[in-house]
Amino acid sequence: KRDDMLGLTGGGNKTRKLEFTMADAIEKYGADTIITCGAVQSNHCRLTLSACIKENLKCILVLEERVPGSYKADATGNNYLFQLLGAERIEVVGLGEAPAKVEEIAKELREKEGRNVYCVPGGASNQIGALGYCACAMEIQNQIFMDTSLP
């Protein structure tokens, strides 16, 4: 499978997980804002931001500086794309502090602004995100058994 061809700013395997987490956020929770976390050059954060743009949702990124001093606001790569794509807010925290910061921001936005916030864990690594890989396995299985050109 060509996960890099899935359509969100370069694709990648997290796109499969985000298909399910974004649907959950919108359909089940009526989210208007997504908050997620990852390393300072996180592909997951880039893909989540891209999915938010596609779905017209606000996106806040909490970047975990796993190596002290590694975050550079003017860095290239994914950090540049975070700026270019228009992340509403970027918070940088130390190692292990991201989950608590995500919850703190979510609480603040719910209480002060009345937003419907949905928190996507780092890498969209939860039960809902795992459904993306289940769907991929089923897709591959169907393609194998439907391909009459195989011996």
Cβ atoms of residues 32 and 115 within 8 Å: yes
Give the residue numbers annotated as catalytic, written as ranges: 42
Residue 24 burial by CB count (10 A; 0-12/13-18/19+): exposed, middle or buried?
middle
Measured CA to CA, the distance from residue 133 to residue 106 in angstroms comes to 27
Q: How far apart are CA 135 and CA 141, in angstroms?
A: 10
- Three-state secondary structure call for residue 29: coil
Question: Angle, nearest 10°, between helix axes 127-146 and 14-23?
Answer: 120
| Measured CA distances, 2 to 6, 71, 72, 100 (Å) | 7, 30, 31, 34
As a whole number of angstroms, the distance between CA 19 and CA 124 comes to 10
